[in-house]
Structure 1
Amino acid sequence: MKVLVVDDEAPARERLAALMDSLAGYEVCGSATNGVQAVRLAEELQPDIVLLDIRMPGMDGLEAAKHMSEMETPPAIIFVTAYEEHAIEAFETHAVDYLLKPVRGERLKGALEAARRPNRAQLGALEGPAGDSSRSHICARVRGNLELIPVNQIHYFQADQKYVTVRHSGGEVLIEEPLKSLEEEFSEQFLRIHRNALVARNSFAGMEKNTQGCFEVVLKDTGERLEVSRRHVAEVRRFLKSL
Structure 2
Amino acid sequence: MSSSDTMKIAVCDDEMAQRRQLQFLIEKHRPGTEINLFESGEAFLSAFRPGVYDLIFMDILMPGMGGVDATTKIRSIDASVPIVFATSSQDHAMEGYKNRVIRYLMKPFDPIEVGEVLELAAQMKGAQGGVSVRIGGKDMTFSFEKICYVEQSAHTLYLHMANGATLQLTGKLDDIEAQTPDDSFMRCHKSYLVNLAHVKSIDKELQVFEMKDGDSVHIRRESLREANRMLADYAMRDL
Give the shorter-chain TM-score range: 0.3 to 0.5
Greater Rg, structure 1 or structure 2? 1
Taking structure 2 as the reference length, what is the TM-score of the superposition?
A: 0.45
Q: TM-score, normalised by structure 1?
A: 0.44
